[in-house]
Amino acid sequence: MTPTGKFIRIVDNTMRDGSHAVKHQFTIEDVTAIASALDDAGVPAIEISHGDGLAGHSFQYGFARETDEAKITAVKKAAKKAKVSVLLLPGIGTRQNLQKAVECGAQIVRIATHCTEADISEQHIKMSKEMGLEVFALLMMSHMEEPPKLLEQAKLFESYGADAVYLMDSAGALIPDMVHARVSTLKNGLKIEVGFHAHNNLGLGIGNTLAAVDEGATIVDACVCGLGGGAGNAQEEVLVAALDRAGYQTGIDLYKIMNVAEEIVTPRMPRPQIIDKAALALGYSGVYSSFLLHTYRAAERFKVPPLDILLELGRLRTVGGQEDLIVDVAYKLANKKS
């Protein structure tokens, strides 16, 4: 395939998915500095909210340092050109949360469900359209179903009025052949745009994203420095360079986004995004990437290896929203050990 300058829209997730990596402790100063630099680099859309979406601030998902409203307001003020995006998971975020986000400046909402539960999103998509938002509908954990089933779910999103459907590799468990098959099936079966969200637990964040755009995905997610859940996401500065080399256009200044990585984001990272054995186990076992830090906490509390917890979570086919099972699994493993 010859791209011939085809435009790929990148939605920056550094402060949303990256929220997991910093334990949701971004300050308003952090948010302002990152958003301003991303906007100056030409990033077209910046996502901001708790890592688990609007209203994720909780004992279950982790308490954030700042409110969603304060962070959205800060990004909107700092970003002169980029659109402001928020994430909403039905069952966590509500109409009231979304309305407040809109009042603070949100222009895009991304509504995410498990890859077999698109039907729970109908009222959320319709109310978002009524609010005048651009709506992306996200199928999480898309490695868990085959392409025909994913298309069936994606068509529900389309029928509810979504502007685009995303495949989310939430566990970083997909390999390029699986991405090719899934994205091409959606591209051929839908009339709306197709997007892709990669995690790097198998080291394939960039490769999988390139596979997605080669099959017709026109919107993709990335994080500066790869900052995100698990081993992180597709690394934005690398993705911009790779897409440029492949003949695609992003509108993002490569040199400026590299500077954002080294001068703005790296100093704010608690640790580098690496593929250690626990992160690798996420991808290999197909476990939700944001489970990683929760698993480390449970492993320390119950004195069991993180790897054992992750492998058991994979065997149980856990999905996003089941964070409480991490403690349950760790407790049972500790008792079995004793």
Residues involved in catalysis: 20
Closest CA to 128 of 103, 95, 159: 95
Report how far apart the first and last C-alpha atoms of the chain are (Å, whole number): 57
**Length reported for the chain:** 338
Residue 277 and residue 295 in contact, taking contact as beta carbons nearer than 8 Å: no
Q: How far apart are CA 266 and CA 270, in angstroms?
A: 9
DSSP three-state, residue 243: helix
Q: How many CA atoms lie within 13 A of 304 on its CB side?
A: 22
Q: How far apart are CA 191 and CA 336, in angstroms?
A: 52
DSSP code of residue 202: T
Residue 8 phi, psi dihedral angles, 5° rounding:
-115, 125
Q: How distant, in Å, are the alpha carbons of 65, 135, 157, 263, 319 from that of 195?
A: 30, 12, 13, 29, 21
